[in-house]
Structure 1
Amino acid sequence: MFDRIRRRAAEPSEMQRQFFAQVARLPAQIPTEVERMRAEPTAVVDDFLPPELRVPTNDQLGGRMTSWQQPLVFDGELVACAECGVYRGWVILSTRDQIWLRCPAGHQQLETRLDTAWYNRHTGPADSTHATFEDCLRHLGH
């Protein structure tokens, strides 16, 4: 009995034979227009967007920043400014794979418990780009 099952499994079924036959006929069914289009050279286009609509890449940006009004808590510890003690109203800066926190008073401190992946998870897409750091702070209301 097991010998019959093995023989049956070794031979392709009728549906498999029909499928293989159809696959073998496919190259002969390509329309001539497709072959002609493949043979014609295509024009090389620089880019579909004009320069003023292109989004700058990460290496063209000095960094990214976002406003963060809630308190930041890491490992059960509330993050506060080292100089003035403020714990909310942060501006979070992501630059050169580092995260910096800026309090409303303008003090900045490096936050080693955060990384760029955390920043990307907790912020949305950029709504604007600015030429200077001060312009961006004004845009965020600081």
Structure 2
Amino acid sequence: MFDRIRRRAEEPSEAQRRFFELSARLQDPGSPEAVQVWAELERVEQAGAVDDSLSPEPRVPTSDQLGGMVMRWPQPLVLDEEMVACSECGAYRDWLVLSARDQIWLRCRAGHQQLETRLDTAWYNRNSGPWVSTHATFEDCLRHLGH
């Protein structure tokens, strides 16, 4: 029984034999199969010429092209062991954190904004996630974030 398995393993299978025959025919440049395959390849190459360069739409704008970036901060914000609260209404959670011109601003749900000097752009970049969308105006951004 094992002798039969060894003999079978030494001999090429039917699929291998067909593959070897076809590749031998395609190696001969004068054979009809080779002429047909090469003509098909040339036709596909001519028809399939596509410009691979990126269009301007998917490119991410640079920081100097943006007016600023905004992220939601739903939990309380604690800086220097002190919970940050809105200076006008006393709200302490559900912030929008705005990064613009190397400054960080906090905006409460009521729409009051205050400059937060204890935060910087590096903090913003560490804590913000990937960009989800860009907006033409600040009001569009606020609507998108639900404020």
Which category describes the TM-score, using the shorter chain as reference length? Answer: 0.5 to 0.7
Q: CA deviation at 1:112?
A: 0.1
* One of 98, 111, 117 as aligned partner of 2:122: 117
Q: Which residue of 2 aligns with 1:137?
A: 142
Q: Report the TM-score when normalising by structure 2.
A: 0.64
Aligned-partner SS, 1:137: helix
Aligned-partner SS, 1:52: coil
Matched, 1:94 2:85: no
Q: Which residue of 1 aligns with 2:76?
A: 71
Superposition pairs of residues 1-142 of structure 1, within 5 angstroms: 48-142=53-147
Distance in 2 (alpha carbons) for counterparts of 1:117 and 1:52: 28
In angstroms, what is the RMSD of aligned CA positions?
Answer: 1.0
Q: Report the TM-score when normalising by structure 1.
A: 0.66
Q: CA deviation at 1:48?
A: 2.6
Aligned-partner SS, 1:101: strand
What is the aligned residue count? 96
Q: What stretches of structure 2 of length at least 5 have no aligned partner?
A: 1-51
Distance in 2 (alpha carbons) for counterparts of 1:133 and 1:49: 28
Q: State the structure with more CA Rg.
A: 2
Q: CA deviation at 1:49?
A: 1.4
Distance in 2 (alpha carbons) for counterparts of 1:73 and 1:124: 19
- Render the CA deviation track for 1:50-69: whole Å, top value 9, x for unaligned: 01111111000000000110
Q: What stretches of structure 1 of length at least 5 have no aligned partner?
A: 1-46
Moved over 2 A (4+): none
